[in-house]
Amino acid sequence: MSGVRLLDLRPLRDSRPFRELWIGSAASQLGGQIATVAVLAQVWELTGSPAATGAIGLATGLPMVFFGLLGGTLADTVDRRSVVRAATVGQLLSAAGLSAQALAGNREVPLLLALVAAGAACGALGAPARRTLPVRLLPAGQVAAGLALTNVSFQAAMLAGPATAGLIIARWDLPAAYAAQAAAMAISALAMTRLPPMRPEGSGPAGPGRRAERGGWRFVLRRPTLWGSLAADLSATLLAMPIALFPLVNEARFDGDPQPLGLFLSAVAVGGITAGLFSGTVTRQRRSGLVQLTAAGVWGLALAGFGVAGPLWTALCCLAVAGAADTVSVITRSALVQLETPDAYRGRVSSVEHVIGVAGPELGNFRGGLLASATSAPFALVAGGLSATLAVAAVAAANAPLRAYRTPPPDREQANPS
């Protein structure tokens, strides 16, 4: 019975290609978290300006949206392994450039942001193709488990990456942190070379430029399970993303002590990792549509609870529950999207999922900040959390196919690595 409750390791045990993909992705995620802290520290050191540190988000977000859409078209047109390989090499070159500029004592923020944007563009270009790989490398019954393993590595990178970056910068300074990112990207690039060829199966409209990109959005809107799943995710992040409000809550309740502020972020990651480690129960549930809707609703309620929590331990518990609910929602949504999309469309539909995943949290943080500036952080959290839960409930009420959706039985689809 414990095997059902704990993290399902069958994908790592049974599929060498998936194991290579997981190692490469984990290394890339860890390197990315280290670089995030290093870039933030360098920009602040050069400028001391919050506007300049805010520009990092712009340099990252815009390329991720534009090149994410382009990457979806490429993933449905050419060998996906080649797209992922090329994108990973591009990220490696960007990391090497960041290391070189730090060693050279660069003082120009535009150059630094240009290298950050180049790395983000390469990552976004390969993201849709990378998202389609687990469903091709694993049997249908193990896809959710594979995505759970990927999510655990992401949560672990979020927890360990910033702390590792801080230790490296404190002891060896910025060039060493960028060198660590470059080493992680080299490991990722090496792992990607061992993947099998994976051309898109079937044929779909793959016309050039914007026409092909629109195909993903149109396909999503024609499938109730797809638009419902993505709408639930967008509702949760757009209406209840809490990160931008953490400093205000910390200032109001804990006198601006930096320790609680750090614990807020850690609590979300700890909740996510815990849910991932016990995700066997979730990944073996075939009613994944209902599971995702429930988890998205719990996310909103937990953040509303964080808005009214008094003692620090209560606030951290609420954030841990929110992190766990987010992990469950992400795992079930990702599996549903991949399994419900024919292979000929998976690249473009994955690019839609990628754009929503990038834009939703950023816009949600912006919305929360505006509302808090007009009212208060607790009000923004409670209003946002309850609004998110109500919006998810509305999606559930309007979308019977999503509520009733069941993942295919394990023997319906076999792994197809070629």
- Amino acid letter at 340? E
Give tens-digit pLDDT for 251-295. 888 877 767 776 787 788 889 888 888 877 776 777 888 999 999
Q: Give tens-digit pLDDT for 216-257.
A: 788 888 899 999 999 999 999 889 988 778 777 888 888 777
- Residues 189-200 have pLDDT tens digits of 999 988 888 888
Q: Is the pLDDT of residue 212 over 50?
A: no
What is the residue whose two structure tokens read 């990927």? 150
In this predicted model, which residue has the larger pLDDT, 165 or 187? 187
Residue whose entry in the numeric block shows the structure tokens 């016990």: 278
- Report pLDDT for 214: 52
Domain 210-408, CATH: 1.20.1250.20
- Rounded to 5 degrees, what angle do the CA atoms 330, 162, 280 make? 30
Q: Match domain 1-142+153-196 to its CATH number in 3.10.129.10, 3.30.1360.120, 1.20.1250.20, 3.40.50.300.
A: 1.20.1250.20
- Sign of torsion over alpha carbons 134, 139, 140, 145: negative
Asked if the model's pLDDT at residue 415 lies above 80, the reply is: no
Asked if the model's pLDDT at residue 417 lies above 70, the reply is: no
* 1-142+153-196 against 210-408: fold identical: yes
Return the SS3 of 185.
helix
Q: Domains of the chain: which residue ranges?
A: 1-142+153-196, 210-408
Whether residue 1 has pLDDT greater than 70? no
Q: Give the number of C-alpha atoms closer than 13 A to the C-alpha of residue 6, restricted to the C-beta side.
A: 5
Query: Is residue 135 very low, low, confident or very high in pLDDT (cuts 50, 70, 90)?
Result: confident
Q: Has residue 182 got a pLDDT over 90?
A: yes
- Give the global pTM: 0.73
The alpha carbon dihedral of 97, 102, 103, 105 has a sign of positive
Yes or no: say if 283 and 8 are a contact pair by the CB < 8 Å rule: yes
